[in-house]
Structure 1
């Protein structure tokens, strides 16, 4: 008799998204700083806005009427977050972050898919990442984003991506 082998496969929707607000600002800032340290190291730039943003600046951004912040929690711990801002028919996606010890588990991909549904009448999603953020670039390309431009910022470039949502 052959041995039965149980195969464990990850579920498609292991995570639940929640809308984040002012009460979450401290956690968001902590997550953001932890996640962006590797970006700063890769680009040799420790003055990245996500690392220098103040809690008041973050709260102001969260309170904007055209902005939405989404998060994923593991019990009480915030393990992923993303911010969206509606500008006419486009949505700017920013600060897609996952805690370092949970990266590579599909949290970023999940948040990206969820972000694409927040503004159902939007025509496109726009975002950028640093050219040395190879995992981010792979994620965006795998998710259907197309590189549209590069902007030089010192010793590296920001890679701009767009995805049609229509």
Structure 2
């Protein structure tokens, strides 16, 4: 079940942190960069993020989450994370699909991920995003930027290979 997360509530922020840290640790290992800002978040920084969060719950436990901000017709996805115990169950796809379906009025979605995070890059490409840029931001760390025009319907049956 997907539902909103009240990120200003400390207990809910702690729940998000419990999936965020292990999820971003996997990304850090994939891209060989351990300075990912999400690894330094605390409940307090999440509570002050100004992002809108939705969570995927299974048997009452948070398994994955997506966060974003909306501005001028653009949805900027800040986080899309799944606890490693729940990888490859389609949770990320369901979270992204829900975001798209509930924001049909928005004209554009944008997201960034580590360019060497092959599972995430493949996931966004399979979800209809186009790579718009790749920037070196620290040493050899490259960030890939993606964009999807419109919030056209994602297919519910899309094959889930990367989440």
Partner residue of 1:157? Answer: 142
Name stretches of at least 5 consecutive residues in structure 2 with no aligned partner: 152-163
Which of 58, 63, 79 lines up with 1:74 in the alignment? 58
| Structure 1 residue 45 displacement after superposition | 1.6
**Over 6 Å off, 4+ runs:** none
Equivalent-residue separation in structure 1 for 2:103 and 2:48 (angstroms): 21
SS in 2 for 1:122: coil
Partner residue of 2:39? Answer: 51
| Structure 1 residue 47 displacement after superposition | 1.5
Aligned length: 147
Equivalent-residue separation in structure 1 for 2:19 and 2:56 (angstroms): 11
Partner residue of 1:41? Answer: 29
Equivalent-residue separation in structure 1 for 2:144 and 2:25 (angstroms): 19
Aligned 1:42-121 pairs, distance under 5 A: 42-61=30-49, 64=50, 67-121=51-105
Asked if the contact 1:116–1:165 (Cα under 8 Å) also holds between the matched residues in 2, the reply is no
Equivalent-residue separation in structure 2 for 1:75 and 1:120 (angstroms): 29
| Structure 1 residue 41 displacement after superposition | 1.1
Larger Rg: 1
Asked if the contact 2:33–2:141 (Cα under 8 Å) also holds between the matched residues in 1, the reply is no
Name stretches of at least 5 consecutive residues in structure 1 with no aligned partner: 1-15
Asked if the contact 1:84–1:115 (Cα under 8 Å) also holds between the matched residues in 2, the reply is no
Question: Taking structure 2 as the reference length, what is the TM-score of the superposition?
Answer: 0.85
